[in-house]
């Protein structure tokens, strides 16, 4: 080998090392982004855009700001104390609180897994009709995607999970942002959407915006996101000297979260809402978009949606074992038989919607809305911990931090109220 070739090879290795080192700085945030922007988020944002145009854009802005603040605060707590969230709840507040989060978050994840796989399978099946006359039944897509996620889980470790999610998230982001420019709504509508308002009841319908708003908040300001954040920060080996690194990671994650969420809403608003079309079924995203936006836009949207589903499914199925390890303060060894059985059982829930022909959009909307119900407890818990002098060692919250937490708490009570109202209205509509 010549000196020139050796030098080129060395430079390539150096570039690869630098790239991977740079990527590793943001892997916790990217992993959480994949967790956060799943088909639940896509469905909520698409439905908001289809039903109400850009008028609920303010909800995304406020939700993302709250999410950044909470991610950063939970991460900061771990940097200072070295403790993960559930272990801290168990040790410094009460063991019941930790168990409460394990039960409620697992219940939410189970609903999310069912809804996610149902939507991904339905979308894939509808998209396959452009190639095959009758398309491929949703159940086959469910089996393929469940197998893929479980394969990644079986063969990987935390870093492998994060890198796999990063690739899938990149595909998702490119697809949704591209769709935004293809189907961009008028700029004036985007500006008006930044002004907080709650739209009235839809014409020819008794449905209100309550449930949609609650689901948007529930899928963005997600308690599980903050709790898992502490585990990722600890496993990254970050300490207090890495605070800026942790904060920058959170900023990148939340900025991408806003751009992707807003792009989904905008694409749906510019196409479905403009035509007066209301979204009620996942496959409508394909059948309604194609004549309005063309086959290219539909294909890009479908790929982005599938990527969103797969990227969120991996953290979803890992949630229960991770929470248990967090609660018991033990190492996350996902090769243990009990954890592999847990993940397999949760993964198989993805077959429920295709087998029983359930309504995945309704499952997802209600599931995301219910997530907002535990947010006030999540805010109160971190408020208590980060103001405890014996834990924070001089790094207790400032009056400004506490003020923001109080505002978020009030906001969380508001979303809890509208979430309960939204679920009640939905149940009443079904019974009537």
Pairwise pLDDT comparison (296 vs 64), residue with the higher score? 64
Taking alpha carbons only, the member of 206, 199, 226 closest to residue 412 is: 226
More confident residue, 34 or 412: 412
Look at the block and give the residue holding tokens 């060692």.
Answer: 393
pLDDT band at 346, cuts 50/70/90? very high
Q: What band does 40 get if pLDDT is binned at 50, 70 and 90? A: low
- Cα gap 261→36, rounded to integer Å: 10
Q: And the tokens for 388?
A: 């405890």
Q: Name the band, by pLDDT with cuts 50, 70 and 90, for residue 31.
A: low
228: nearest Cα among 160, 315, 114: 315
Q: What is the DSSP string of 11-61?
A: HHHHHHHHHHHHHHTTHHHHHHHHHHSSHHHHHHHHHHHHHHTTTTHHHHH
Read off the pLDDT of residues 107-163 as tens digits, 9 standing for 90 and up: 888 877 887 788 788 888 887 877 777 788 889 999 998 998 888 888 766 566 667
* Residue 222, number of CB atoms within 10 A of its CB: 28
Q: What is the pLDDT of residue 253?
A: 84
* pLDDT tens for each residue of 290-310: 655 567 777 777 777 777 777
Tell me, what's the pLDDT at 117? Answer: 82
Per-residue pLDDT reduced to its tens digit, 166-176: 777 777 778 77
CA distances from 349 to 109, 164, 211, 405 (A): 10, 22, 24, 36
Which of the two residues, 320 and 280, has the higher pLDDT score?
320
3-state secondary structure 319-341: HHHHHHHHHHCCCCCCCCHHHHH
Residues 338-364: what's their mean pLDDT?
Answer: 81
**Among 289, 373, 394, 337, residue whose Cα is nearest residue 103:** 373
Banded model confidence at residue 68, pLDDT cuts 50, 70, 90: very high
Higher pLDDT, 375 or 208: 375
Q: Please give the C-alpha separations between residue 90 and each of 83, 96, 108, 208, 382, in angstroms, as whole numbers.
A: 11, 7, 21, 39, 13
What's the mean per-residue pLDDT of the chain?
A: 78
Cα 88 from Cα 77, distance rounded (Å): 10
The C-alpha atoms of residue 300 and residue 91 are separated, in whole angstroms, by: 47
**34: confidence class by pLDDT, cuts 50, 70, 90:** low
Provide the percentage of residues in the chain whose pLDDT is more than 70.
73
Indicate the SS3 state at residue 125: helix
């Amino acid at each position: 080998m010549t000196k020139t070739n050796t030098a080129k090879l060395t430079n390539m290795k150096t570039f690869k090392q630098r790239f991977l080192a740079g990527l590793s700085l943001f892997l916790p945030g990217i992993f959480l982004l994949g967790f956060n922007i799943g088909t639940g988020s896509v469905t909520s944002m698409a439905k908001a855009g289809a039903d109400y145009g850009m008028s609920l854009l303010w909800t995304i802005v406020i939700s993302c700001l709250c999410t950044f603040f909470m991610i950063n605060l939970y991460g900061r707590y771990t940097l200072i104390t070295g403790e993960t969230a559930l272990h801290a709840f168990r040790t410094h507040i009460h063991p019941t609180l930790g168990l409460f989060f394990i039960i409620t978050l697992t219940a939410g994840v189970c609903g999310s897994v069912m809804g996610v796989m149902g939507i991904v399978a339905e979308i894939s099946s509808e998209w396959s009709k452009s190639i095959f006359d009758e398309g491929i039944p949703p159940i086959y897509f469910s089996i393929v995607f469940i197998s893929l996620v479980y394969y990644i889980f079986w063969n990987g470790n935390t870093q492998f999970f994060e890198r796999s999610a990063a690739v899938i998230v990149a595909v998702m982001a490119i697809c949704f942002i591209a769709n935004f420019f293809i189907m961009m709504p008028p700029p004036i509508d985007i500006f008006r959407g930044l002004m907080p308002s709650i739209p009235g009841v839809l014409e020819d319908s008794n449905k209100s915006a309550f449930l949609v708003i609650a689901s948007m908040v529930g899928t963005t300001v997600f308690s599980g996101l903050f709790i898992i954040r502490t585990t990722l920060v600890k496993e990254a080996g970050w300490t207090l000297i890495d605070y800026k690194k942790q904060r920058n990671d959170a900023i990148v994650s939340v900025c991408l979260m806003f751009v992707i969420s807003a792009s989904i809403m905008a694409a749906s608003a510019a196409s479905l809402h403009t035509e007066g079309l209301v979204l009620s079924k996942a496959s409508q995203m394909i059948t309604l978009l194609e004549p309005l936006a063309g086959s290219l836009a539909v294909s890009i949207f479908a790929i982005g949606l599938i990527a969103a589903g797969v990227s969120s499914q991996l953290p979803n199925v890992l949630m229960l074992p991770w929470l248990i390890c967090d609660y018991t303060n033990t190492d996350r060894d996902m090769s243990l038989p009990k954890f592999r059985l847990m993940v397999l059982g949760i993964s198989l829930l993805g077959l429920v919607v295709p087998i029983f022909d359930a309504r995945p959009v309704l499952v997802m909307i209600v599931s995301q809305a219910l997530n907002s119900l535990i947010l006030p407890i999540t805010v109160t818990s971190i408020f208590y911990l980060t103001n405890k002098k014996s834990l924070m060692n001089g790094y207790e919250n400032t009056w400004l931090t506490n003020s923001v937490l109080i505002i978020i708490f009030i906001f969380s009570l508001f979303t809890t109220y509208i979430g309960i109202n939204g679920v009640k209205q939905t149940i009443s509509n079904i019974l009537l």
